[in-house]
Structure 1
């Protein structure tokens, strides 16, 4: 049987979990995820976990922080004075917003992490940064 290798177009079903067992994403009920192995389209640990698999094979891959979304970076946590922000937005912890990162229109997704009467804190780290991840993977096809 053919083994998946770098450069192959692969299709996989997956369930992504935190080490606590909480599911954060799954292809269940959807089409398989399709991507080119080794192209950087997915996190490094997911990519390397599929390399060498055969069609129909299922396995569980444990991905450390460094091969997932990396460690959480304190430099990506920002605090703003509430008086400098629009008055019509009802800020809540967990709310997802888009922040303009530079004068060239680049938009960065952020999560509100704290809200007080005079300050708002947001985190621009990927929501899974700083987390070890576990993926249950089934290789559906290799082209």
Structure 2
């Protein structure tokens, strides 16, 4: 039988339920996403796919009360930019859905497997449109800042902040 540990001693492991605030920013300091302005921390389960693996690795072994800022290279964040993820389409293919595609416009596409993909128009020519399917932050180093409020071990009841 495991003794009941105070929450300050419970470490984050795979399957833990965690209440936290986080911030993702570029190396320039530009904040991409942050929950620090929210009244209530967000909750997630480690390993459920709601957070990128590189971000989850930063959380492993932290406990309630911990804060951490980690530099993540592209391979551990949103991926390396890949030229193969830029595709050219005939401009005529856009006639019904978006008759005037412009550079920087985000659009949803459906692949052969009926999956939805988001792409950013990177170039518009007379007859062709290039679409970049890389994540918009691909190739970017990021800073990931976290503050842990509560850790509930795998298998225990959902989080309740008090």
TM-score of the two chains, using structure 1 as the length reference: 0.88
Provide the rounded CA distance (Å) in 1 between the counterparts of 2:36 and 2:103.
Answer: 29
Superposed counterparts of 1:88-103, under 5 Å: 88-102=98-112
- Structure number with the higher strand fraction is 1
Deviations 1:13-49 (A, max 9, x none): 0110111211111113334332212344311221011
Partner in structure 2 of residue 25 of structure 1? 33
| Residue 19 of structure 2 corresponds to residue 11 of structure 1 | yes
- Determine helix, strand or coil for the equivalent of 2:95: coil
Provide the rounded CA distance (Å) in 2 between the counterparts of 1:18 and 1:11.
Answer: 23
Does the 8 Å CA contact 2:69/2:144 hold for their aligned counterparts? yes
| Residue 144 of structure 2 corresponds to residue 139 of structure 1 | no
Structure 2 unmatched runs, 5+? 1-8, 153-162
RMSD: 1.7
Give 1 or 2 for the bigger CA radius of gyration: 2
Aligned residues: 142
TM-score of the two chains, using structure 2 as the length reference: 0.79
Provide the rounded CA distance (Å) in 2 between the counterparts of 1:84 and 1:7.
Answer: 45
Provide the rounded CA distance (Å) in 1 between the counterparts of 2:29 and 2:20.
Answer: 20
- Determine helix, strand or coil for the equivalent of 2:84: helix
Deviations 1:81-139 (A, max 9, x none): 2123216532122211011111x422111111112232211111111111111011101
Partner in structure 2 of residue 59 of structure 1? 68
**Structure 1 residue runs of 4 or more that deviate by more than 4 Å after TM superposition:** none
Provide the rounded CA distance (Å) in 1 between the counterparts of 2:47 and 2:122.
Answer: 34
